[in-house]
């Protein structure tokens, strides 16, 4: 319908109401009844005659959800509170991981992030990155970068290192990398996270990652879960405990021990070298750790040795050595108990974690003990995991 310039174009109400609002150029449609053909009769056609003209083909109307790019319930997808483009809306994180088997360390190089989700009123964020090794005590093995102010594309270039990492950790543990927004006036806000199974790493080979951040979807509360989901949830929890082995023991950090049986001095040399990622026992987020050792059974109660106290640290270095005069044949029947404590003034000291090495131990602790007996005069250094299990005899001596 076209007219000369200056002429007023007339459009009846039916044409006006039938304007196509789909994306694209707006074009009038001759009759709204073309979309809703009625049967023959005096009221059919809505004033425009009987049936629609032959040259007009009714268009298929799409559901409103399809026009907006949303999924419909027929797709079978469960609707949640998160946007479908979270993978790109949260941003990406670039980092490197390197497992050094010789030094038992995991090097995490946090490089940069791009396109982070704005978290502050100014449309920016104050992002930082924190790392956790799972499963394990989150506070004991948390590492954190510095905060970059007012940016959605922060550059850190920081190296964070986990000490005491063994091949068993590489096989079973997962590194959780979370990006958060620091807020001085309230609690810090979570932006997104990445979880990397350490089994993807090869010893002494740096691996580069550039991955989209993901939002951790919260689990439904037990009251809102169906009976089937509750059963599956219980099954997964039991399976996780079985896979972890020591499911009920909480990790409290790592300790580096040196064992050597001296043939010349006829005794055992125990070196307390250092601890890493100890659990924080004080309100300031740190501990005042020291180490005690016993050689059990201890009939005469003369086997206790104790290091000095290191103030306000979760990664103390002791470098102290103790000597037990004992024959090699007798040593094979003994158990070395190593416990780490937090020193407190005026009250009983807090137990941080412990490990036992001897014929009744398991895993790396037993192997370290047997290697010491089989290789006299050789100084053997190994990392050991401290757990929440308190040796029975140590409980009565917590204040010592």
Neighbours of 334 (CB within 10 A): 20
Per the CB < 8 A criterion, the answer to whether 270 and 324 are in contact is yes
Per the CB < 8 A criterion, the answer to whether 310 and 158 are in contact is no
Tell me the domains of the chain and their CATH numbers: 91-213 (2.60.40.150), 251-387 (2.60.40.150)
pTM confidence score: 0.60
The torsion of the CA quartet 390, 391, 392, 396, rounded to 10 degrees, works out to -70
Which pairs count as long-range contacts for 136-142, CB under 8 Å and 24+ apart, including other chains?
Answer: 136/173, 136/250, 136/251, 137/250, 137/251, 137/252, 137/253, 137/279, 139/279, 139/280, 139/285, 140/251, 140/252, 140/253, 140/277, 140/278, 140/279, 140/280, 140/314, 141/251, 141/253, 141/277
Could you list the pLDDT tens digit for every one of the 400 residues in the chain?
555 665 666 666 655 555 555 555 555 555 555 555 555 544 444 444 444 444 444 444 444 433 333 333 334 333 333 333 444 578 999 999 999 999 999 999 999 999 999 998 888 999 999 999 888 765 667 899 999 999 999 999 999 999 889 888 899 899 999 999 998 888 899 999 999 999 999 999 999 999 899 887 444 444 444 555 555 554 444 444 444 444 446 788 899 999 999 999 999 999 999 999 898 888 888 899 999 999 988 877 788 999 999 999 999 999 999 999 999 999 999 999 999 999 988 778 889 999 999 998 888 899 999 999 999 999 999 999 998 876 655 544 444 5
């Amino acid at each position: 319908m076209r007219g000369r310039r200056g002429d007023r174009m007339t459009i009846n109400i039916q044409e006006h109401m039938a304007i196509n609002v789909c994306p694209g150029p707006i074009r009038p449609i001759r009759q709204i009844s073309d979309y809703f053909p009625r049967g023959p009769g005096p009221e059919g056609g809505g004033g425009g005659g009987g049936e629609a003209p032959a040259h007009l083909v009714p268009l298929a109307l799409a559901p409103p959800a399809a026009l907006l790019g949303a999924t419909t319930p027929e797709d079978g997808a469960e609707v949640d509170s998160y946007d479908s483009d979270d993978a790109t809306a949260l941003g990406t994180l670039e980092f490197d991981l390197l497992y050094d088997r010789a030094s038992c360390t995991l090097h995490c190089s946090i490089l940069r992030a791009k396109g982070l989700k704005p978290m502050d009123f100014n449309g920016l964020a104050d992002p930082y990155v924190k790392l956790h090794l799972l499963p394990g005590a989150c506070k004991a093995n948390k590492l954190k970068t510095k905060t970059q102010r007012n940016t959605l594309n922060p550059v850190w270039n920081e190296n964070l290192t986990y000490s005491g990492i063994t091949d068993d950790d590489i096989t079973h543990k997962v590194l959780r990398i979370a990006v958060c927004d620091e807020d001085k006036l309230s609690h810090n806000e979570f932006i997104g996270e990445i979880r990397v199974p350490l089994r993807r790493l090869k010893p002494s080979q740096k691996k580069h990652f550039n991955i989209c951040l993901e939002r951790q979807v919260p689990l439904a509360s037990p009251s809102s879960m169906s009976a089937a989901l509750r059963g599956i949830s219980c099954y997964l929890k039991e399976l996780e405990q079985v896979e972890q082995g020591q499911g009920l023991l909480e990790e409290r950090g790592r300790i580096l021990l040196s064992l050597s049986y001296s043939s010349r001095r006829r005794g055992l040399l125990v070196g307390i070298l250092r601890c890493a990622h100890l659990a924080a026992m004080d309100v300031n987020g740190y501990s005042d750790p020291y180490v005690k050792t016993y050689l059990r059974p201890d009939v005469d109660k003369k086997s206790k040795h104790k290091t000095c106290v290191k103030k306000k640290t979760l990664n103390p270095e002791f470098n102290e050595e103790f000597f037990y005069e004992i024959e090699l044949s007798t040593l094979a029947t003994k158990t070395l108990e190593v416990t780490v404590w937090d020193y407190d003034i005026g009250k009983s000291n807090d137990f941080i974690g412990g490990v036992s090495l001897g014929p009744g131990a398991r895993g790396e602790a037993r192997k370290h003990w047997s290697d010491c007996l089989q290789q006299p005069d050789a100084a053997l250094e190994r990392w050991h995991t401290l757990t929440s299990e308190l040796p029975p005899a140590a409980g009565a001596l917590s204040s010592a």
